[in-house]
Every structure is written in C-alpha cells, then in structure tokens.
Chain A
C-alpha cells in the first residue's frame, strides 16, 4: 500500500477516495438541508484545498503557462480530476480546455462559498457533488484493480 507516474502513489489514491466520498456526502446533506453540519466542516476545507491544487496545475493551460510551476501534488490532483472529466465527458458537457477551466473555477468557487458560509447556486453544488462522487468511484476503481494491471485513461 505504501509507495512503492504522475499516477499518484497508492496512499494518495486512498486519501482522494476517502475525501471525495466524504465531500459527496457533505454536499448531499447541504442539498437536502441547506446547511453543512459540523462534522463536515473540515472535509469541505480539505476538498477546497484539493481544488486549489488542481487550479495550480490548471495554470499550465493559461496565458502565463510558461510561468506555471505546479508541484507534484498539484499535478497528481489535476491528473485525477482530468481523468474523471474525460471518463464522464458527456455528463459534464466538456469539449475543450476552456470549458474544463471554467468547470474547475466553478467547483473551486462553490467550495469557497460553502466554506465562508455563503449560499452557492444549487446547480453548482450539484455539479460539485457529481464531480466528487465520480472521483471517489474512480479512486475505488483504481484500488480494486491489481497493481500490475492498473492503467490510466490519461496514459
């Protein structure tokens, strides 16, 4: 299970898996009750941090792409996110890099608003939940495959 590509190490896959399933659960609660209970506050902060890492790597596609210097953590996070989007391209309605950028911005802003007690749009919360649910499923899929047979859509 220990680390043994910018295919993240196994411990990171577990981390993303648990975080995503918790985040999806937290957002389901929010959609139902309009509130995030105390037990999920930390989870939403951590998932916002994950989106921040994704955004750092997303700068590789931006205007100042050559100045972008994402860390391995950011590249790993972006890779997993990209894999989710590509696998569910129709569901997220993403055709090009510009739309991908906008999606990540939406997800990031939604979590930012939730963490600061604001009320984001319901459609955005639903989209964010969908993303994290799919990410959890993807991580579970990776871990369910024997290590020597693991591949990534990205590769």
Chain B
C-alpha cells in the first residue's frame, strides 16, 4: 500500500504539471521560448511517470531501493513543477517585451544553440539558470538516454535553455539591463572551467600545498583520525569552492565589460553603491568583494581606451569631463586595498585568491577570444558610441539613428545606445537635487530620469524593428513575393 500511495502521488503531480502547461498556453509571450520550456517540462514529466510505472509493473528486484527511487522522482517532479513559474512570469505584460528580443539576439549570437527566457523576479537580483544540462544530469540515471534526449530536445537546434531574471523593481530602469551582460557570461565561465578541469594540475597542487602548510600537515596523512582527515578535506574543498565561485563572477564581469564597455562599469558601480565595498561573505554563493570586482573590471580597459572613446565619439568638453571624472572616482575607490587586507585575514580566502590572481591573465585572454569569435569586442564601441547619438538624447529623441557627414542614415546598435544613455546619466542625472530650496524639483528630476530610460528603450525597440524589417525585406527579395507575406 505504501509504495502504491507513493506512485499515486508521483502520477498526480506529473499530470498536474501537464494540466498547468495547457493553461500556460493561453497566455501571451514576447517569444516562443517560454512555451518551448513548457514543452520540455511536460515531456520530462511524462517520461518520468512512464518509467516509474514501468518499473513498478515489471517488478523491482529490491523494493526498498525502488521506494527510494520513487521518492527521489517525486521530489524531482515537484522541482519541475516549480520551474513552471519561469514561464508564467515571462508573459508579455510582465516583461518590457521590446527589450527582450534585442537582448535575446545578443545572447543567441554569443550562444548560438540556445534560447533565452527573460522574466522579472521579486528578489533584487539579476540571475541566470541553464536548465537542459541540469535536467540531463538529474535524470540520466533514471531514464534511458534515448527517452531523456527525446524529452530534452524536441527541437534539435536548441541545446540550452537559459532563464534570466531581473529585479521587478527595476523593470523600467532600462540602463541597468546592461547587467544582463554579466549573466550572459555564465555559459562562458562554464566553458572556461570545463577546460580548466581537464588541466587541474596547473593550479590544484599549489592550492593543496598552501592548505597543507596552513594546517601544518606537510607530512604523512594516513595516520590522521577520520575527523582530522575530514577537516583537511573540508579546507581543500572550501578553498576550491571559493576560488571557483569568485573566478566565475569575475569572468562574467569581464564578459559584461567587453560587451558593454563603460556602461557596464557604471551599471556595476551603481549596483554596488548600496553594498559594502569590502564585504567578504564566505558562505555560498560567494562573491568577491565589490572593490575587487570593480578593480578587475576597470583594469580590462587598456590605459588609453577612454581617451580613444572620447576622441572617436567626438564628445564635447562637458561630456569628456563628466566621463573622466566618473572614471577617476572609480579609480580612486579601487586603488584602496581594504578588500585585499580582508581577504588575507582568512587562510581560506587568502589561498583561494592567491590562486585566482595567478589565473586572471589567462581568464582575460579567454574571455576576449571567446567573445571575438562570435563578433563582439570592446573596441566595437569606439566611434559607434558618438556625439550624434547623444545629441538626439539631449533633445529628447530616441537615439536609434543619426545622419552622418555624408548625409547617410546610420542606425545605432544596442550596445552604443546603452552607452550614450549612461553618458547622459553620468553628465546630468547622477543624483537628485537635495538642497531644501529645490524640494519641489524632486518629482521633475525623476520624471526626467524616467523619460531618459524610456527614450533609450524606444531607441532599442526601433533598432530591433528596423533590423527585423530589413530581414523581412531581404527574405521577400529572395523569395520574390508580391504583397505582404505572413509568418
């Protein structure tokens, strides 16, 4: 009876998932990606249900082991059901849908076999999950490869499903969407670690030596009691974990910088403003101190890059001064070393970050090459981010295009538009008026900031629509259609 009750629970939950998926089809989404995820979840729930029922009817060789398996399957199904929230949250009315497609395009260009689902979350955080690899690993010892792959890949061209989250509170803070650049870095940091794990001899022995030194264990270990051995193992894994987690965040920060340039640095600095610059929290997930992160990001710009950015953009003295002042303020902040002192105070962080520093040059090279391979370099922003785009913004016109000296229309790109948005912000809207005699101007300030965000969003929307129209025109030409074709 006990086993039968467990199986009933499993089947009930699996059916509930499929019922919910049916209802989710009634909602509207900015792209097909959310319903694609719904299909994958639905398929997995079906094959899990079928497999457990099949094993039950065949008769398990060991009842107690089978019961454990059914319980694991129930917990897994519950987890799948919880993931349906990503789909429900990704509806058109909950997302700034005109931003979704342009961001997805950048994501799909960097990660060609992927699709993206972008949705707001109540937690104040930007996040990214990849679900196919997680489902694949979780179910690989329950389902046959054939059945699992059929459920995971209904469309063979999609190998990864990325779910990105942004804080609901910042839904209309368009310029903070630059932080998605960090999230797009997570698949890249996985690629880096896949490579590094095959060559762990390059860094792991040095880590082990430092741990042995710290614990005064540079001797025969076989005589250690089990508890002492566990302590040694614990420190080794803690050091590896801190190193891994810190390095992954720094890789993502570097991806963000190479994608979005100064805008990335400013958005991160804005995000860090309310945090302790030198806070070191060891428990998972560990993030490097913000001062450390900002320093790593700032050092990604070659020494004269900002000078070239200003020259090629032909920005005036006011903008140049505002930009240089902003960079200088960040430089002064990261020149202090309170973060490094704190990291050195603890043996585990000291060891982890010593190893991390050794790896950083290689990491920087890896990120640049990886992005360049898919068409993105920091230098793309030189000249493309320019005074003509900025002038439109200054005149309350979406900065999506301008007329060049030759009289031709030049259409902007998402990365440059976000950068001019930040330049405008830095030069005019860094903070609201705070003296008592301008109290009544506070609303006016926030209205202007809101307008700035909307203009940048409108520019991105326009650029995307133009690009979609251009694609349609080319397709029409190729197919030689007459009249309007339907998708």
CB neighbours of A4 from chain B (8 A)? 129
Q: A65 near B: Cβ within 8 Å?
A: yes
Contact, CB under 8 Å: A137 / B233: no
Q: Smallest Cβ distance from B198 to chain A, in angstroms?
A: 8
Q: A100 near B: Cβ within 8 Å?
A: yes
Contact, CB under 8 Å: A143 / B208: no
Knowing A28-B62, A97-B221, A100-B229, the reply to whether A68 touches B205 (Cβ < 8 A) is yes
Q: A109 near B: Cβ within 8 Å?
A: no
Contact, CB under 8 Å: B134 / A67: no
Contact, CB under 8 Å: A5 / B223: no
- Segment of B69-77, B269-277, B435-443, B470-478 engaged in the interface with chain A: B69-77
Contact, CB under 8 Å: A71 / B197: yes
Q: B360 near A: Cβ within 8 Å?
A: no
Contact, CB under 8 Å: A21 / B222: no
Q: A78 near B: Cβ within 8 Å?
A: yes
CB neighbours of B60 from chain A (8 A)? 25
CB neighbours of B140 from chain A (8 A)? 15, 18
Contact string, B200-243, partner A, CB cutoff 8 A, digits 1/0? 11111100110010000000111111111110111011101100
| Complex partner residue of B222 from A22, A26, A29, A61, CB under 8 angstroms | A61
CB neighbours of B131 from chain A (8 A)? 2
Residue of B201, B237, B241 with most partner-chain A CB within 10 A? B237
Q: Smallest Cβ distance from A58 to chain B, in angstroms?
A: 10
- The CA of A99 and the CA of B82, in the complex, are separated in Å by 43
| Complex partner residue of A12 from B61, B137, B200, B226, CB under 8 angstroms | B137
Q: Is the interface of B mostly helix, strand, loop or mixed?
A: helix
Contact, CB under 8 Å: B134 / A140: no
| Complex partner residue of B230 from A5, A57, A82, A98, CB under 8 angstroms | A82
CB neighbours of B234 from chain A (8 A)? 154-155
Q: Smallest Cβ distance from B305 to chain A, in angstroms?
A: 35
Q: Smallest Cβ distance from A131 to chain B, in angstroms?
A: 13
| Complex partner residue of B238 from A3, A6, A95, CB under 8 angstroms | A6
Knowing A2-B134, A25-B62, the reply to whether A75 touches B237 (Cβ < 8 A) is yes
Contact, CB under 8 Å: A96 / B222: yes
Q: Smallest Cβ distance from B207 to chain A, in angstroms?
A: 9
Contact string, B62-88, partner A, CB cutoff 8 A, digits 1/0? 101110110110011001101100000
CB neighbours of B61 from chain A (8 A)? 25-26, 28-29, 32
Q: B130 near A: Cβ within 8 Å?
A: yes
Contact, CB under 8 Å: B75 / A143: yes
Contact, CB under 8 Å: A66 / B226: no
Q: A19 near B: Cβ within 8 Å?
A: yes
Q: A89 near B: Cβ within 8 Å?
A: yes
CB neighbours of B142 from chain A (8 A)? 18
Q: A130 near B: Cβ within 8 Å?
A: no
Knowing A86-B226, A100-B229, the reply to whether A71 touches B72 (Cβ < 8 A) is no
Q: Smallest Cβ distance from A128 to chain B, in angstroms?
A: 14
CB neighbours of A17 from chain B (8 A)? 68, 72
Knowing A10-B138, A68-B208, A137-B68, the reply to whether A100 touches B226 (Cβ < 8 A) is yes
**What is the chain A residue whose CB lies nearest that of B233?**
A82
Contact, CB under 8 Å: A65 / B221: yes
Contact string, B240-267, partner A, CB cutoff 8 A, digits 1/0? 1100100000000000000000000000
Contact, CB under 8 Å: A15 / B222: no
| Complex partner residue of B229 from A11, A96, A137, A143, CB under 8 angstroms | A96
Contact, CB under 8 Å: A143 / B72: yes
Q: B375 near A: Cβ within 8 Å?
A: no
| Complex partner residue of A7 from B62, B138, B284, CB under 8 angstroms | B284
| Complex partner residue of A71 from B135, B141, B200, B223, CB under 8 angstroms | B200
Knowing A18-B142, A61-B229, A86-B226, the reply to whether A1 touches B76 (Cβ < 8 A) is yes
- The CA of A145 and the CA of B288, in the complex, are separated in Å by 28
- The CA of A63 and the CA of B219, in the complex, are separated in Å by 9
Q: B139 near A: Cβ within 8 Å?
A: yes
Q: Smallest Cβ distance from A155 to chain B, in angstroms?
A: 7
- The CA of A15 and the CA of B143, in the complex, are separated in Å by 11
Contact, CB under 8 Å: B82 / A1: yes
**What is the chain A residue whose CB lies nearest that of B67?**
A21
Q: Smallest Cβ distance from B213 to chain A, in angstroms?
A: 10
Q: Smallest Cβ distance from A151 to chain B, in angstroms?
A: 11
CB neighbours of A18 from chain B (8 A)? 69, 72, 139-142
CB neighbours of B197 from chain A (8 A)? 71-73
Q: A133 near B: Cβ within 8 Å?
A: yes
- The CA of A71 and the CA of B197, in the complex, are separated in Å by 5
Give the contacts of A118-155 with B (CB-CB under 8 A): 133, 136-137, 139-140, 143-144, 154-155
Can you offer 5 A-B residue contacts whose CB atoms are under 8 A? A6-B238, A18-B69, A61-B221, A66-B209, A154-B230
Closest 3 CB pairs of A and B: A1-B79, A6-B237, A69-B204
A interface residues (Cβ-Cβ under 8 A, vs B)? 1-7, 9-12, 14-15, 17-19, 21-22, 24-26, 28-29, 32, 43, 46, 57, 60-63, 65-73, 75, 78-79, 82, 85-86, 89, 94-101, 133, 136-137, 139-140, 143-144, 154-155
B interface residues (Cβ-Cβ under 8 A, vs A)? 60-62, 64-66, 68-69, 71-72, 75-76, 79-80, 82-83, 129-131, 133-142, 193, 197, 200-205, 208-209, 212, 220-230, 232-234, 236-238, 240-241, 244, 284
Given contacts A5-B237, A28-B62, 9 further A-B contacts (CB under 8 A): A1-B76, A1-B135, A3-B130, A11-B137, A65-B212, A69-B201, A75-B237, A97-B228, A154-B237
